[in-house]
Amino acid sequence: YRVISTKNLVGNLWLEILQKYECRVEVCTDRGVLSNEEIVGAIGSKCDGVLGQLTEKWDDSLFNVLKRAGGKVFSNVAVGYDNVDVPAATKNGIVVGNTPGVLTEATAEMAVSLVYAAARRVVEADQFMRAGLYKIWLPDLFLGKLLTGKTVGIIGAGRIGSTVGLMLARGNKMNLIYYDKYQNKQFEAKLEAYREYLSHTGESTIEWRRADSMEEVIRDSDVLSLHPNLDKTTFHLMNSERLQMMKKDAMLINCARGPVVDEVALVEHCRENPQFYAGLDVFEDEPLMKPGLKDLPNVVVVPHIASATVWTRRGMSALAAMNVAAVINDLPPWGSPNVLSFVGESVEDVPP
Ligand code: GLV
Ligand code: GLV
């Protein structure tokens, strides 16, 4: 079989998996972002499967080219797949793969890192030290925010969102509210067990609830962490109106996808509310930031690296390779947003 990977991935396991399943792998590039024309060229006249990146737009015409080259599978090396036109892939008979599970903890840990960095002004204080400005210890130097006893709000309580919620509820005794169209019973059972444990020990306990509306979560949270998929319904979910509903000294964390937040409105909001903090791993026009964002002291920014640990990226690479190897061998992939379409069901019908 001929398989292409639009970028070189991490570790060797992914290559070993593909070799074991008789796939000859061609890596297109180490560093650059391929245009769709270059991808068409790389697919050529015969290609059984592709490992692709979130920086590429996989649309109907690309899937058509892949189908005509005899392709059966497109494996996105990411859990998010907003860069993939899944219905177009389905129409062309192409199974789409993604990498759920392996990156849950890494991504959640980055969300929590951004919470701590924002709450305790770690980046501002680091810059202050490096600039040689630490001359005298003062009782009110870099006052930040205490998390214990405050409320964390989770929008999108799937694998990553619920893990962030548990890390902050258990680790920092934060109260928790979440909003999701699906009830996450496992998440609720863990929160309830922790709440009961605390009340039995006589310590101050936590409260948690599933909110009826997203606005309720937005209004009541001291830390609001966003974890939905990006689609038409979540584009600019945090717009100017919803930002206004947040507490003036709250923190907004986004490790999902940039366009979930109206970044221009966020710049405006952070400028007008110096006590408000934002921690961002993703941006609307990556790799760019909207004008003004980088000048705000109350914003912490990192370059879409929430899943970037060695273990996690090796795992994602291997999982993406397994998705390709499985489909080529007529087996179900590990993670897929459309494989059920081929047996007449939709992932939309399956709760997390
Ligand atoms: C990274 O953003 C991913 O979706 O895996
Ligand atoms: C702070 O350094 C303290 O000792 O309270």
Strands 73-76 and 49-52: parallel
CA of 137 to the centre of ligand 1 (A): 41
Contact 255, 228 (CB under 8 A): no
95 DSSP β-pair partners:
73
Contact 206, 194 (CB under 8 A): yes
Does 46 have pLDDT greater than 60?
yes
Query: Which H/E stretch holds residue 198?
Result: helix 185-201
Residues 6+ away with beta carbon under 8 Å from 243: 252, 262, 265, 266, 269
* Closest listed residue to residue 322, CA positions, set 10, 15, 12: 15
- Residue 251 — φ and ψ, nearest 5°? -125, 135
**304 in catalytic set:** yes
- Residue 79 to residues 8, 67, 194, 326, Cα–Cα distance (Å): 18, 23, 29, 17
- pLDDT per position as a tens digit, 157-169: 999 999 999 999 9
Does the C-beta of 251 come closer than 6 Å to ligand 1?
Answer: no
Domain 2-102+309-349 in CATH 3.30.1330.20: no
- pLDDT per position as a tens digit, 230-284: 999 999 999 999 999 999 999 999 999 999 999 999 999 999 999 999 999 999 9
- Residue 296 to residues 44, 53, 248, 278, Cα–Cα distance (Å): 47, 30, 16, 10
Q: Show the tokens assigned to 50.
A: 């592709």
3-state secondary structure of 286: coil
Do 104-301 and 2-102+309-349 fall under one CATH topology?
yes
Ligand nearest to the CA of 141: 2
- pLDDT per position as a tens digit, 189-225: 999 999 999 999 988 999 999 999 999 999 999 999 9
Q: Which of 159, 210, 242, 257 is catalytic?
A: 257
Evaluate the omega torsion of the peptide bond into residue 337 and state whether it is cis, within 30 degrees of 0.
no
Ligand nearest to the CA of 320: 1
- Residue 237 to residues 171, 293, 317, Cα–Cα distance (Å): 28, 19, 30
Does the C-beta of 300 come closer than 6 Å to ligand 1?
Answer: no
CA of 271 to the centre of ligand 2 (A): 32
Does 352 have pLDDT greater than 80?
no
Does the C-beta of 80 come closer than 6 Å to ligand 1?
Answer: yes
Q: Is the ipTM of this complex over 0.85?
A: no
* Closest listed residue to residue 45, CA positions, set 75, 71, 22, 7: 71
In the numeric block, the tokens 């400005």 are attached to 133
For ligand 1, atom 3, which residue shows the shortest CA distance? 78
Q: Where are the domains of the chain?
A: 2-102+309-349, 104-301
pLDDT value of position 144: 97
Q: How confident is the model at residue 348 (pLDDT cuts 50, 70, 90)?
A: low
Query: Which H/E stretch holds residue 25?
Result: strand 24-29
Does the C-beta of 78 come closer than 6 Å to ligand 1?
Answer: yes
Half-sphere exposure in the Cβ direction for 290 (13 Å, CA): 18
Residues listed for the chain: 352
Does the C-beta of 307 come closer than 6 Å to ligand 1?
Answer: yes
Residues 6+ away with beta carbon under 8 Å from 120: 142, 144, 145
- pLDDT per position as a tens digit, 49-100: 999 999 999 999 999 999 999 999 999 999 999 999 999 999 999 999 999 9
75 DSSP β-pair partners:
51, 97
Probe target for ligand 1 pocket from 10, 54, 283, 309, with the most ligand atoms within 8 Å of CB: 54
For ligand 1, atom 5, which residue shows the shortest CA distance? 78
Half-sphere exposure in the Cβ direction for 319 (13 Å, CA): 21
Give mean pLDDT, residues 23-36: 93
CA of 296 to the centre of ligand 1 (A): 26
CA of 331 to the centre of ligand 1 (A): 24
DSSP secondary structure of 158-188: SHHHHHHHHHHHHHH--EEEEE-SS--HHHH
Fold category of 104-301 in CATH: Rossmann fold (3.40.50)
* Closest listed residue to residue 18, CA positions, set 326, 312, 336, 310: 326
For ligand 1, atom 4, which residue shows the shortest CA distance? 80
- Residue 286 — φ and ψ, nearest 5°? -55, 140
In the numeric block, the tokens 């870099």 are attached to 142
Probe target for ligand 1 pocket from 79, 84, 227, 323, with the most ligand atoms within 8 Å of CB: 79
For ligand 1, atom 1, which residue shows the shortest CA distance? 78
**68 in catalytic set:** no
* Closest listed residue to residue 206, CA positions, set 192, 219, 223: 192
